[in-house]
Structure 1
Amino acid sequence: MKMTQIIKTLSILSIMTLISCSDALEEETFSVLGPTNFYNSAEDAEALLNGVYTASQGYRDISRDYLTINEMTTDILIERGGGINANTQPIEDFIWPTTHPYFDFFWGRYYVAIYRANVTIEQVPNIDMDEERRTQIVAEARFLRAFNYFQLYDLFGPVPLIVTSQTAVTDRPFRSTKEEMLTFMENEFNTVADILPATQEQFGRVTNTAALGFLTKMYLNNRDWQLAADTAQELISLGVHDLFTEGNRTDLFALANEGDNEFIFVAPFPDNPATGLGNTYLSHAAPPGYQFEFPPKVNFAAQFKILSSFIDIFSEEDERLDAFLFEYTNGEGNLVVLGEDDTRSFKYQEDPNGIGDISGNDWPYLRYADILLSRAEALNELQGPNQESIDLINDVRLAAGLMAVSVVEFPSSDSLNDFILEERAKEFHTEGLRRQDLIRHDKFISEAISRGKPAQDFNLLFPIPQSEIDKNQNLMQNDGY
């Protein structure tokens, strides 16, 4: 069962206070809801944790916002048309105002999740309930808190590290150092990896492999190659996950295969569109006049388009090419061939139960293929071209219907690194990983300049939202903004 199918809207609790004056009758307060008398049962503990999941995982426009930030800044994706172009074009053009609403949104959303996690971590240990479940709830909340800091660090660099719910705008701490942020995430992911189970009954809940997976990615993105390689191997050795090979590679993203054990951590969306929750990606990607197979569907004026130069890196036999729409028959029965820089990614296949712009397609944060290629990259950085890296790369290539490559094809570490970076682009397009991959390979700025963008070195990070700096005098802006 998907996590979102059991999470209901959280109750909003208000503490009622009585205002008195010298001439008014004094009223007796019979009950007040608050932290000391509400969080007292196992059901309360589960409700607290569900609130952390709700804030941490999916929301209806996650694909739009996540891809704008992480792929429209790269050599994969552009957006044309629709009202959202006013927000997406400055991101694509590397003109990033500190007042951009997307930066405000991400910052606020992640810190709301962190606050909820802090409340859960503080309150649940005091609840009289099954000890094993209580320990696991706290571990899940700690993972989700670290996950949200992972996201903040990726976008903005070191941020205020808040680990208590008892804080306000006036007493928020200074930005943490890089070392403090990395040490905190490392300790949290390591600790919960020893507590969390390898699998969960409800798909979408965190596991020890999710903790090890994000620890791997944290080490990798910070170029701690040995720890990245070792942690990836620890995850691989558990034998919990494997690659999807039961059909065309693109079928991994069909709704029928949600829950496949290649997915390590996702934002799960409900199969029932009546909930109002869902993935809106296809409504942003469908070209004008496109006829959905399962109407009624909304086709937005926004147009998420794939650059032709990106399509050119695929070989003809690559099954991952099947994720792209190159032509279609419109409502008038005419064949429309999409031209230069107009191909569409339909990686997230159409949901037959979707209504309007809402589909049940899950959003993948981490897959097993990422762990294999992460270890391959880390080993290459440590050893140069080696057989194990090649074997790991070939596992992913063979799953995509491609021929294996040989170690003798790569005369240097740099040549194999370039190959891995390209394999990652083909495997993880439309999943929002390209920006961090290019940054790690020192190509994010140079690639942007080659596309005619006024990118500068400080653009490796986005600006801290000006609204947050206005509220917190301790918060310093990132360099260059």
Structure 2
Amino acid sequence: MKLYHISLALLLGLGTLTSCNDKLDLDNPNQQTSATFGFNADDLEESVVAAYNHIRMEGSYARVGYTIDMCRGDEVWNSSQVWYLPFDNLNLPVSGDIGWWVWREWYYTINVCNFGLSRTGDDDSKLSDRMKDIKGQLLFLRALAYYNLAGYYQDVPLITDYNTYSSLDGLYATNNTFDEVMDQVEKDFKEAVDLLPSRDKGGEWAKGRATCGAAAGYYARALMQRHKYSEALTVLKDIINKKYGSYKLMANYGDNFREGAQYENNDESLFEVQFLDYGTQGTDDEWTPVNTSKNATQGSAIESNCGPGAYGGWADLSASPWLYQLFKQERTKSGKLDPRLYWTIGTYETDWDNDDQTLGNVCYKSKMAPTDTVVTNNNNGGLPICKYTNMRTGLYDKVVTGLHDGINLRLMRYSDVLLRAAECENEVNGPTQQAIDWINEVRRRAGLADLKLADFPTKDKLFEQIANVERPKEFGCEFGRGFDLLRWGFFYSADRLQQLKEHGTYRCSIHHAKDPVSYDLVGKDPEVKCSYDTYVPGHEFLPIVETLTNKNPNLKGNSANNSTDNSEYFKTNGWTVHPVVSLSK
């Protein structure tokens, strides 16, 4: 009888607890799971922040993910001849360890975005304004991730459904084609354009969050990657006509490469990666995939990679002699050097001695004399890269190595919109005055004379001006040139590949860093090398390295793994590779 009453009391007690269950919070907020998290806007905002956080990691934009594309470009070479050499020479082996860091970071970003998107539903019309903002940012960041993955690895697994993570088949996904991935990229960016507010809304939308302007800019980039020039031109015109917010060129080109609230997230910036200014950061120099410390530095290592060895830099990357000589070929209307040279390459020039727009001939806080030759690498020479370093800002007297560079990376600037619009206009309608006008808007900021339509009678000649004069001088030594070379098909014609070899020739010497160097000297002069001499078809992309294929039995290699020529894909799509045209005629 006692046992009966005890059992009854227990049952009644449990019944009471069960009946009050909806009034009790039994979830530990410090031990959240996917079953309990993400069912309200506050939770999903945390997912958005987590996704933003991971685009500023070592494999995304804080270091390797950014600098690999710099190396692929013809205006940068590897002056350390060690760390980034396989990326510079386009011959990364399948055993290359660094080659999967980009993959790691962007798939982490995708996973976070997929989780958040699984909570937002498919019907955008039913979302509150706040939920539209959240979904738009997640779509933008997922598209950004796949844009980078496709641009680096060509054929990657396309995972968009968070539910697939519940099975091994979902986790061990197979490759999708480049076209399948880019279809999704376009779809995500386009939807993000419709969901996001413009930077004109102010607040955080003017201070670094992805906006409809950012999404529109990247949507145009994605379209251009597969030669959808007519569609991209429509989007770019809308940006220029302020449909997605107000943008304009900064009067001072250098304001795009400084840290500080007065420079960052400025009127020219469509999207940039946010880093804390030096002096406001934490002390823990955490490298991914850790980065969990509340005292993390939250800066980038771009300055460390590009900074001169004599000033504490790692001395890995240098500007090519071709880019330097390109800047020297044309002076401003007042007879001065192009001011963009000052912010791109750290050389002494007499023009800078009495320049009231800059600090003059400085390397960090040291005044440079005419006899000074500051090289990137103490052994191999090289012209120091100034962009996203403090070489010209006067803030510091040396490189603070590690993840301490506080300058935000402007991933898309309004000048890119203008030059892309000119390129698309030329592709769709041939050389027109409108295309020339957009180019001249960028040139006028630099003080250069206007181009004249009469000097560009053919589409090929205007393309040559855009691709090998205007874009390298405006964006030289920034992320993106490698992506440009892919979409232009420069690896798929003999004359363009030879041009890349000429641009990518450099001298490994601490002497004569500024001097032009001829590709004809490769193999004759032991100091002269070329970044593209070891190129094998298919290796314009990175291989999917063994670290990944060994873990995922369903993952196959790409054209770099198999040394497959991608020129047939280019031709099958009906895309043209513009022939090399002399601009002197």
Partner of 2:184: 184
Partner of 2:554: 474
- Once the two structures are superposed, residues 20-52 of structure 1 have per-residue CA deviations (whole angstroms, 9 ceiling, x without a partner) of xxxxxxxxxx65642232334433221111111
State which of 267, 279, 282 in structure 1 corresponds to 2:300: 279
2-side partners of 1:302 and 1:348: how far apart? 14
Q: Does 1:121 align with 2:167?
A: no
After TM superposition, the score normalised by the length of structure 2 is: 0.69
Partner of 1:3: none
Q: Residue 183 of structure 1: CA displacement?
A: 2.2
- Between the aligned partners of 1:130 and 1:184, the Cα distance in structure 2 is 22
Q: Supply the AA of the counterpart residue of 2:281.
A: P
Q: CA deviation at 1:442?
A: 2.6
Q: What is the deviation of 1:237? A: 1.8
Q: Which amino acid aligns with 2:552?
A: N
Distance 1:309 1:169, change over 3 A: farther
- The answer to whether 1:415 aligns with 2:461 is yes
User: Would you say the 8 A contact 2:64–2:101 is kept in 1?
Assistant: no
How far apart in 2 are the matches of 1:333 and 1:246? 26
- Larger mean CA deviation between 373-382 and 56-65 belongs to 56-65
Displacement of 1:228 in angstroms is 1.4
Between the two proteins, the alignment pairs up a number of residues equal to 438
| Kept in 2: contact 1:68–1:91 (CA 8 A) | no
Deviation larger for 347-356 or 300-309: 347-356
Change (3 A) 1:394 1:433: same
Distance 1:265 1:59, change over 3 A: farther
1:434 aligns with 2:481: yes
2:92 aligned partner: 96
Structure 1 174/284 Cα, relative in aligned 2: closer, same or farther at 3 Å?
Answer: closer
Aligned to 1:295: none
Once the two structures are superposed, the pairs formed by residues 71-90 of structure 1 within 5 Å of their partners are: 71-81=70-80, 85-90=81-86
Partner of 1:156: 153
| Alpha-carbon distance change, 386 to 91 in structure 1, aligned in 2, over 3 angstroms | same
Which residue in the other structure is 2:565 paired with? Answer: none
Cα deviation for residue 457 of structure 1 reads 2.5
Distance 1:151 1:301, change over 3 A: closer
Specify the SS of the correspondent of 2:271: strand
**Structure 2 vs 1, CA of residues 301 and 183 (structure 1 numbering), >3 Å: closer, same or farther?**
closer
Larger Rg: 2
Shift of 1:355: 5.3
Residue type at the aligned position of 2:42 = E
Q: 8 Å contact 2:306–2:315 — kept in the other structure?
A: yes
C-alpha offsets along residues 183-230 of structure 1, whole Å, 9 cap, x if unaligned?
222221111211100125221111111111111001112111111111
1:307 aligns with 2:320: yes
For residue 251 of structure 1, report the CA deviation from its aligned partner.
2.8
How many Å separate the matches in 2 of 1:415 and 1:364? 29
Query: Which residue, out of 182, 199, 211, partners 1:207?
Result: 211
Q: Give the structure 2 partner of residue 108 of structure 1.
A: 104
Match for 1:433: what amino acid? G
CA distance in 2, matches of 1:467, 1:60: 15
When structure 1 is superposed on structure 2, of 257-266 and 431-440 the one drifting more is 431-440
The alignment partner of 2:141 has SS state of helix
Does the residue aligned with 1:98 lie in a helix, a strand or coil? coil
Q: CA deviation at 1:341?
A: 6.3
Gap regions ≥5 residues in structure 2: 1-25, 283-295, 332-336, 349-361, 492-496, 506-529, 562-585
Residue 346 in 1 paired to residue 386 in 2?
A: yes
Q: Is the 8 Å Cα contact of residues 58 and 64 (structure 2) preserved in structure 1?
A: no
SS in 2 for 1:72: helix
Structure 1 residue 321 corresponds to structure 2 residue 350: no
Q: Is the 8 A contact 2:67 2:302 kept in 1?
A: no
When residues 134 and 480 of structure 1 are mapped into structure 2, their CA distance, relative to the original with a 3 A threshold, is closer
Find the aligned partners of 1:341 and 1:243 in 2 and give their Cα distance.
Answer: 37
Letter of the 2:247 counterpart: D
Shift of 1:333: 9.3
Instruction: Tell me how far apart the structure 2 counterparts of residues 61 and 51 of structure 1 sit (CA, whole Å).
Output: 14
* Aligned counterparts of 2:560 and 2:60: Cα–Cα separation in 1: 29
The residue that corresponds to 2:522 in the other structure is none
What SS does structure 2 have at the residue aligned with 1:336? coil
Name the SS for the 2:372 alignment partner: strand
- Say if 1:320 and 1:332 are closer, same or farther in 2 by CA, change over 3 A: closer
Whichever residue aligns with residue 304 of structure 1, its letter is: L
Matched with 1:47 is 46
> Higher relative contact order at CA 8 Å, sep ≥6: structure 1 or structure 2?
1
2: CA distance between counterparts of 1:259 and 1:152? 25
Contact 1:364 1:431 in 2 (8 A): no
Tell me which residue corresponds to 2:141.
Answer: 144
- Partner deviation per Cα, 1:343-389 (whole Å, 9 max, x = no partner): 21212252738955412100121111111111110111112111010
Moved more, 337-346 or 308-317: 337-346
Q: 1:21: which partner in 2?
A: none
Identity %: 24
CA contact (8 A) 1:39 1:45 kept: yes
Q: How many angstroms apart in 2 are the aligned matches of 1:60 and 1:69?
A: 10
Counterpart residue type for residue 325 of structure 1: G
Moved more, 437-446 or 322-331: 322-331
Answer yes or no: is the 8 Å Cα contact 1:373–1:392 preserved in 2.
yes
Compute the displacement of 1:310 (Å): 1.3
Cα distance in 1 for residues equivalent to 2:310 and 2:173: 51
Choose from 399, 409, 413 the match for 1:363.
409
**Hey, what's the Cα distance between the residues in 2 that align with 1:78 and 1:449?**
12
- CA displacement at 1:170 relative to structure 2: 4.2
